[in-house]
Structure 1
Amino acid sequence: MSDPLENDDPPAWYCVRTKSKREHIAAKSLRQLEGVETFCPRLRYRKATRRGKIWWVEAMFPGYIFAFFSRRENERNVVHTHGVMTLLKFGDYVPEIPASFIAEMCRLMEEQESVEDDTLTLQPQVRPGDEVEIAHGPMQGMQGKVIEVLPSSERVKLLIEFLGNDQVIDADLFSLLLPNKPLPE
């Protein structure tokens, strides 16, 4: 079997394994190499903490980014770039990522309102009737049903059973655990 690098080597998308929590650093470093493009999709969401709600940014695929390059010309430079560990491999086989997958991911990212390139902002999605669990605060662990969503104040009204009676309470949208919902068909 011949080495695929000996033949014509057109650029392709590859999955690059990065150091933990360093995806954005690896992508920035790779962008400085001639003949290399990167795609590092990230998620931006609000998270409740002791200090209040803060914006949190994480990689959509923790530990991995995508890079477009010619392996013969750039593989050595890519794997020796700051923040990069290796290319995703299965034995000696290095799979190419279909360009259609990258294009679709980019299209989905562009449809969303992004604060910065390659970043998708997530908002909790609850609807009246959803069963939820309270994850933070004095009522942690209690379950209830959403009866109203107040998006402007990031709050919801829940119906919970407390001391043998149904009670309506206000809860922070970001303090709820949402149930696993089946994917739409």
Structure 2
Amino acid sequence: MAQWFVMYTKPRMETVAEDNLQRQHYRVFFPRALVRKRRPSQGAVEIVEPLFPRYLFVHLQQGVDDFSKLRSTKGCVDLVKFGGRPTPVPTELVDLIAQHASDQGVLNLLANQELEIGAKVRVAEGPFEGLVGTIAKQKSADRVLVLLNVLGAERSVEVPSVTLEKSSQ
């Protein structure tokens, strides 16, 4: 029975590894994510990047597929191993990721970043990193006013929306 395994790739060579594995007729799943990043010259931009940098999934059958030739595939380093043996990944995990991805394997993580007034958020980077607050106002397309508890009092702070993540607190 075929199972999913994790392939470790060379830096920024995931697509090269994916192409070369597919040319060898392996079933490959390379999940990517649509995210918003801040660029100094451009501000917030939407980009597609690997969901798991340097990793992709390969569908293999132990005893049938030759695992040794995978290491010499351009872009690949080796299968992820535990105890010196390639270890399969639960099929349910790969199915769950694929279920939420587009046909091209891209997960839209921007949909989860929609910030509403009153939502609890955590500052993920910058001088207020780690603080939890409440969104008070949308200032522009990429900046929000957040109420943070600083020095025992609630203060309003304007931060880039890409530095925030939803909080469960």
Shift of 1:77: 2.9
Secondary structure at the aligned position of 2:104 is classed as coil
1:61-80 maps to which residues of 2 (within 5 A)? 61-71=52-62, 72-80=64-72
Larger relative contact order, structure 1 or 2 (CA cutoff 8 Å, min sep 6):
2
**What's the TM-score once normalised by structure 2's chain length?**
0.73
**Greater share of strand:** 2
Q: Which has the larger radius of gyration?
A: 1
- Deviations, residues 116-155 of structure 1 (Å, cap 9, x unaligned): 711112222444152544956xxx54966411347x8344
- Per the alignment, residue 106 of structure 1 pairs with 98
Secondary structure of 1:97's counterpart equals: coil
RMSD (Å), alpha carbons? 3.3
Gaps of 5+ in 2: none
**Equivalent in the alignment of 1:122:** 109
- Alignment coverage as a number of residue pairs: 160
Aligned partner of 1:16 among 3, 7, 24: 7
Task: State the alpha-carbon separation in 2 of the partners of residues 63 and 132 from structure 1.
Answer: 27
Query: Percent identity over the alignment?
Result: 21
Summarize the Cα distance change of 1:53–1:104 in structure 2 as closer, same or farther, 3 Å threshold. Answer: same
Measured in 1, the distance between the counterparts of 2:144 and 2:36 equals 16
State the SS of the aligned residue for 2:53: coil
- The 1:30/1:149 distance shift into structure 2, 3 A limit, reads same
Q: In structure 2, the residue corresponding to 1:101 is in which secondary structure?
A: helix
Q: Distance in 2 between matches of 1:12 and 1:166?
A: 52
Match of 1:146 in 2: 135
Paired residue type of 1:46: R
Give the TM-score normalised by structure 1.
0.67
